[in-house]
Amino acid sequence: MKPSIEKRTLTEGDVDRVIEMAWEDRTPFEAILTQFGLTEQEVIHLLRRQLKASSWRRWRSRVQGRATKHQALSPVDNRLFKSSRQRLVSHNRIAKR
């Protein structure tokens, strides 16, 4: 059995990042699972606790049925969780011109 969200140690910065990723249209729930180990249901539970009621309703209506939030339903290839236009950066250095 997986530990519940209360038993996991998420810093305040982690919680902010999860909320930010959940609001982004092109970030699938699988990316949040990979980075933070939170399932879709745990993300929903976290947002319900952290957001104001009006913000929660707005997010929920926006996400419900959105294909880009679910990797299997998305027409976009989200395997790498980055834009195809993003430049290749190696060893945290940008190539000199």
Q: Report phi then psi at 3, rounded to 5.
A: -70, 145
In this prediction the pTM is: 0.64
Sequential pLDDT tens for the chain (97 residues) = 454 555 568 899 999 999 999 998 888 888 899 999 999 999 999 999 999 999 999 999 988 877 777 666 555 554 555 555 555 555 555 555 5
pLDDT at residue number 1: 42
Alpha helices in the chain (DSSP H): 12-23, 29-36, 40-50, 53-63
